[in-house]
Amino acid sequence: MRLLTILFLLLPCYGAAEQLKLDGFATIGLTVTDSDTAGIRQHISQPHATYKDEFGFTNSSLGAQVEWQASKNTQFVGQALFKDNEEQNLDNIIQMAFLRHSFNGNWQLRVGRTGLDLFMMTEHRDIGYTYTYNHPPTEFYAIVPHQNLDGIDIKYTRRLKQGLISGKFFAGKSTAPIISDEGFFWDVELKSLYGLVIEWQSYDWTFRANYTATQSGNENDQQKQLQAALALVPDQIWPQKSALLDSLNIIGKRFNYSAIGTRYDDSRWFLQSEVSYIDSNSQVLKALTAGYISAGIYYENHTLMATLAQAKSNNRTPQRPLVSTPELDLLYNTLIRHTNFYLVDQNTFSLTLRTEINHYLAVKVQLEHTAIDSLPSAFYLHRNLQSGDFDNSFNTLGISLNWVF
């Protein structure tokens, strides 16, 4: 936040600003589902979810974006967004706040809070009007809570006969909350974060590749308490004790994110797909593969699209202690909520119909069928898990009104 404060203090220095542009965007989203155990939400930072026999409006949002052309080559961009957050503070509301300077037609520098460029829809994922999906595919977009980067990026763009190629390097840090069952809240800090994005555009095609590396910068109070409790258990009673202690020691652990994406759009048909792989030296998230593929057709002011998305990790549930007592059982059940958070194995097939009412208003209807091999899952909030009767297959209907103004 100190960097953002400095940027705001610098704004009055640009008294000769040539142009100020202010835009707004909003989404009113309705969600219904037939799942009684998996509460539907769009990302793992969302504190509220929708269950069977409920009408959920937590996917609604309201935002504004300001662009200030301070000089011929320098611009300020800021974006604020009100959505379903655990805490409504300045740090959560400000999605972007950066100064952009173009040295020439090839080189561009940005300093401040930018979008963390992991996805094809990084820069506009919160502006529902700009894409066909009712919401970005959960299996791919929901697993990483971090959307922002506080730091710097530099981009080089060059036009070739075969198309437009660009490369971007970024570095900084990021903080975002993870919210789970029973009031679990962890404001996750990523430090020493850096990445490289290469993109090529040619006529109807876009290709991009991303590599990002970072380290965990903090831990939550529950992890400290679990470490202290687990350290008291003799090794003979719990042979996996050392591995579990290592999984709880998250500070400084390495996380790598790699992704490739492509899009084809000839104004009649379109195809979009992204695949990612996350690995680390932490037991909490050893390896996770996620991806989706979407295909659609435009017809007058309508768009019809089908999407298949999937996410799967290789996490394994730790073994129980060799002795069963009420205290050990409670400790084990608490531990697996931590170690199994990224134990995901699911796929979703969806059909989406988007209708543009005019140039600033669109309606979307999306029907999804999800099959899950493992609950609880990081993607959802949960209830009634003690019954043992999990909803491993459920349907979700999303309807949204999206506009820009």
Distance, in Å, from the CA atom of 96 to the CA atom of 88, rounded to the nearest integer, reads 16
- The ranges of the chain with pLDDT < 50 are 13-17
Provide Rg for the chain, Cα atoms: 22
Distance, in Å, from the CA atom of 322 to the CA atom of 335, rounded to the nearest integer, reads 15
pLDDT score, position 17: 47
Encode pLDDT of 293-349 as tens digits.
Answer: 999 999 999 999 999 999 999 877 788 888 888 888 888 888 877 777 888 999 999
Q: Are 294 and 310 in contact (CB under 8 A)?
A: no
pLDDT score, position 30: 98
Among 189, 214, 193, smallest CA distance to 280 is for 214
Q: Are 76 and 113 in contact (CB under 8 A)?
A: no
End-to-end CA distance of the chain: 28
64 exposure class (CB count in 10 Å sphere: 0-12, 13-18, 19+): middle
Encode pLDDT of 73-131 as tens digits.
Answer: 999 999 999 999 988 888 899 999 999 999 998 999 999 999 999 999 999 999 999 99
Give pTM, 2 decimals.
Answer: 0.90
Distance, in Å, from the CA atom of 189 to the CA atom of 268, rounded to the nearest integer, reads 43
Query: Any idea which fold 115-404 has?
Result: Porin (2.40.160)
* Sign of the alpha-carbon dihedral angle for 281, 284, 289, 295: negative
Amino acid at 103: F
Domain residue ranges of the chain, discontinuous segments joined by +:
115-404
Among 127, 123, 144, 173, smallest CA distance to 45 is for 144
Among 331, 265, 309, 256, smallest CA distance to 286 is for 256
Whether the bond between 234 and the residue before it is cis, its omega within 30 degrees of 0, is: no
Residue 346 backbone phi and psi in degrees, to 5? -155, 165
pLDDT score, position 184: 86
- The SS3 assignment for 283 reads coil
Q: Which helix (H) or strand (E) holds 227?
A: helix 221-231
Distance, in Å, from the CA atom of 289 to the CA atom of 116, rounded to the nearest integer, reads 19
pLDDT score, position 88: 85
Residue 236 backbone phi and psi in degrees, to 5? -65, -30
Q: Which helix (H) or strand (E) holds 308?
A: strand 302-313
Q: Please spell the DSSP secondary structure of 148-203, one letter per residue.
A: EEEEEEEEEEEEETTEEEEEEEEEEEEEEEEE-STT-EEEEEEEEEEEEEEEEEET
